[in-house]
């Protein structure tokens, strides 16, 4: 089965700073999804990457997919308090989504 | 913007009781899913449902679990005889294109005492 490992597990960043979260897969990635979860709440879809080398941006969040490395990264530029939460990567080799371990992001003023 | 809704937001039950968790998927979606997240752990897949039948289920989804789409709008997860270890956040998701592009509901927090 496919395993997704995220790093770091938690991240504390000063407001305004940039940060990167990584997601590494144990198997070939045919698509990679990024979700954000606020504590005790649902998952908010951020982005889907389908092709190797693909890069997508939404507001201050950019995600890239490196198929060869079986890895994806999520980069936040000029972080804001609204970026705080748990970021999850997910892969869907079949019907189901398999999720990573999550990265808890805290933004300090 | 259309969204997946779930009720109740929090359910407390006694061990051995039956619970039904309800979901209203996005209206034009055809693929439906249940996931769960035990506190502090990963989000885990339970079951997928398409064309009025289960298309895939995980090892977690044993005989005490069942899903149903009783009408054109609701999608339910029934747990027949709850155990303490069933305490978790249960998420419903729906999609118009299979596993890709799933939208999640806010979750139901199930507490089994």
Query: Tens of pLDDT along A46-99?
Result: 998 987 788 999 889 999 998 888 899 999 999 999 999 999 999 986 668 899
Instruction: State the Cα–Cα distance between residues A83 and A24, nearest whole angstrom.
Output: 22
Q: For B57-72, what is each residue's pLDDT tens digit? A: 999 999 999 999 988 7
Tell me which residue has tokens 């504390």: A12
Domain ranges of chain B: 5-112
- For A10-20, what is each residue's pLDDT tens digit? 999 999 999 99
Annotation: CATH topology of B5-112: Immunoglobulin-like (2.60.40)
Of B67, B91, B89, nearest in space to B79 by CA: B67
Whether the CB of A98 is below 8 Å from some CB of chain B: the reply is: yes
Tokens linked to A52: 């190797």
Q: Which of A6, A33, A38, A43 to probe by mutation at the B interface, max B CB count within 10 Å?
A: A43
Domains of chain A in sequence order: 4-108 (2.60.40.10)
- Interface mutation target, options A95, A98, A101, A104, chain B, most CBs of B under 10 Å: A95
Does the pLDDT value for residue B98 go beyond 80?
no
pLDDT of A31 > 90? The answer is: no
Phi and psi, residue B45, nearest 5°? -70, 140
DSSP A109: -
Alpha-carbon distance of B67 to B61, in angstroms, equals 10
């Amino acid at each position: 089965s496919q395993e997704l490992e995220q790093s770091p597990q938690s991240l504390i960043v000063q407001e305004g700073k940039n940060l990167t979260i990584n997601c590494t897969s144990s198997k070939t990635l045919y698509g990679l999804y990024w979700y954000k979860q606020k504590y005790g709440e649902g998952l908010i879809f951020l982005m889907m990457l389908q092709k190797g080398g693909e890069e997508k941006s939404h507001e201050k969040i950019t995600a890239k997919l490196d198929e060869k490395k079986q890895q994806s990264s999520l980069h936040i530029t000029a972080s804001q308090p609204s970026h705080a939460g748990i970021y999850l990567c997910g892969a869907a080799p079949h019907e189901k989504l398999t999720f990573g371990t999550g990265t808890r992001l805290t933004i300090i003023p | 913007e259309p969204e997946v809704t779930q009720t109740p937001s929090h359910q407390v039950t006694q061990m051995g009781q039956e619970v039904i968790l309800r979901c209203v998927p996005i209206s034009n979606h055809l693929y439906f899913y249940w996931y769960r997240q035990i506190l502090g752990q990963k989000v885990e897949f339970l079951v997928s449902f398409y064309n009025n039948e289960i298309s895939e289920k995980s090892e977690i989804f044993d005989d005490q679990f069942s899903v149903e789409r009783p009408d054109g709008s609701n999608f339910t997860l029934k747990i027949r005889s709850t155990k303490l270890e069933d305490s978790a956040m249960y998420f419903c998701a729906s999609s118009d294109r299979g596993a890709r592009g799933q939208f999640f509901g806010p979750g139901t927090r199930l507490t089994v005492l």
